[in-house]
Amino acid sequence: MQTNAQAIDAFIARKTRIDAILSRLQALSDDHFHTDPDILHWGHVGNLEHIETQLQQIADFAFKEGEYAD
């Protein structure tokens, strides 16, 4: 049987992984997603749109907004 202490450990482990992902994404954004403005094209825009859509879905879920609103 799983205990509350195990749930807390699992929660902290997942939060730690989320924090690491967010940190990496922030660093990538700070570097303009490794995109050289001299070679930027619509494919880069599409890639960024995909990232934005996924992050918006996560934010909507976390904040109970959009399709997740009560």
pLDDT per residue over 17-60, tens digit each?
Answer: 999 999 999 999 999 999 999 999 999 999 999 999 999 999 99
Regarding whether 41 and 24 lie in a shared domain, the answer is no
Regarding whether 63 and 41 lie in a shared domain, the answer is yes
- d(Cα 55, Cα 65) in Å, to the nearest integer? 13
Regarding whether 18 and 43 lie in a shared domain, the answer is no
Residue 27: per-residue pLDDT: 99
Average pLDDT over residues 60-70: 97
Regarding whether 69 and 50 lie in a shared domain, the answer is yes
Residue 30: per-residue pLDDT: 98
Task: Give the residue numbers spanning the domain of 2.
Answer: 1-30
Regarding whether 41 and 61 lie in a shared domain, the answer is yes
Q: Enumerate residues 6+ apart whose C-beta is below 8 A from 44.
A: 33, 35
